[in-house]
């Protein structure tokens, strides 16, 4: 089983060297997607031997970074892709846990969960982020029948053969909303794996309008409904619209919705 670890990075000069050093203890093949960094991230990457790099000349978004990582893994013949963030919010020491789960061969997506169980040194999540995560968990459960405890954790393992069955094109932070709909539609097997909850810098922002939690939630809901509309399932659509309007009445029309900034921050 061949796997590669992919790390989306946007202006991560502070954390990049330490994250790469920790990942190297558990993986030989590493890919960094430099998502238009304007700090020293590109220079630091040039000093890292043996690391594959995809460079976006401008910031294209967290979702696009993952989409490019899937394409890279497929083109290079990898069986699995493991993703983690570059801000020290994910412990590379969990990579062997993902590999153990992969070896059981009973899942297509192994999704890290910071809430599946508690670790002694877990950090407290910012309240608005935990609230939105829980709202989205509930919505995905009620609409798709997929029970998740952590919809947004970026620490995941993906079976590349299964990813070929998806048509992902959501470039920004709402990527998981499209991803989960397509996974359920494709009948992929999904498992959660407990990982530590780490928040090194609670002041980090999403950028632009997404810094407003209400606007961020509305955007997530709009992307969710829009994805359902691509191949409508009547029962899904009725419930999704109802949940969306309950959160923000009159703001869930997805026909002409514009995408907000896609800056890749955690």
- Range(s) of the domain holding residue 160: 3-126+147-204
Residue 219 CB coordination number (10 Å): 23
**What angle (nearest 5°) sits at the alpha carbon of residue 41, between those of residues 195 and 173?**
50
Supply 186's token pair.
């494709």
Q: Is residue 249 part of a domain?
A: no
Is 28 in a helix, a strand, or coil?
A: coil
**Within a domain: 131:** no
With respect to residue 244, please indicate whether it lies within any of the assigned structural domains: no
Domain-located, residue 195: yes
Q: Is residue 216 situated within a structural domain? A: no
**pTM, full prediction:** 0.85
> 73-116 pLDDT, tens per residue?
999 999 999 999 998 889 999 999 999 999 999 999 999 999 88
Indicate which CATH number applies to the domain containing 188: 3.90.550.10
Q: Are 31 and 4 in contact (CB under 8 A)?
A: yes
The number of beta carbons lying within 10 Å of the beta carbon of residue 174 is 27
Beta-carbon contacts of 237 under 8 Å, excluding residues fewer than 6 positions away, are 225, 228, 229
Domain assignment present for residue 183? The answer is: yes
217 belongs to a structural domain: no
Q: Is residue 225 part of a domain?
A: no
Summarize pLDDT for 29-67 with one digit per residue, the tens.
999 999 999 999 999 999 999 999 999 999 999 999 999
Look up residue 203 and give its two tokens.
């002041």
How many domains is the chain built from?
Answer: 1
């Amino acid at each position: 089983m061949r796997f590669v670890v992919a790390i989306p990075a946007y202006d991560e000069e502070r954390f990049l060297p330490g994250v790469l050093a920790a990942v190297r203890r558990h993986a030989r093949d590493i890919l960094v997607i430099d998502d238009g960094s304007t700090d020293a991230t590109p220079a630091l990457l040039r000093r890292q031997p043996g690391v594959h790099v995809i460079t976006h000349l401008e910031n294209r978004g967290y979702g696009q970074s993952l989409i490019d990582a899937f394409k890279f893994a497929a083109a290079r013949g990898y069986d699995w892709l493991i993703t983690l963030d570059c801000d020290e919010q994910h412990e590379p020491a969990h990579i062997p846990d993902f590999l153990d789960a992969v070896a059981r061969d009973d899942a297509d997506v192994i999704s890290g969960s910071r809430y599946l169980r508690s670790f002694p040194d877990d950090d407290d999540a910012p309240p608005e982020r935990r609230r939105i995560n829980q709202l989205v968990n509930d919505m995905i459960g009620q609409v798709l029948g997929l029970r998740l405890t952590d919809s947004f954790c970026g620490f995941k393992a993906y079976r590349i053969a299964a990813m070929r069955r998806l048509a992902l094109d959501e470039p920004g932070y709402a990527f998981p909303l499209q991803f989960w709909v397509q996974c359920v539609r494709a009948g992929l097997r999904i498992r959660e794996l407990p990982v530590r909850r780490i928040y090194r810098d609670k002041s980090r922002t999403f950028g632009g309008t997404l810094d407003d939690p209400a606007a961020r939630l509305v955007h997530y809901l709009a992307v969710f409904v829009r994805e359902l509309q691509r191949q409508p399932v009547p029962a899904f659509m009725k419930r999704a619209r109802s949940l969306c309007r309950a959160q923000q009445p009159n703001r869930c029309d997805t026909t002409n919705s514009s995408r907000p900034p896609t800056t890749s921050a955690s």
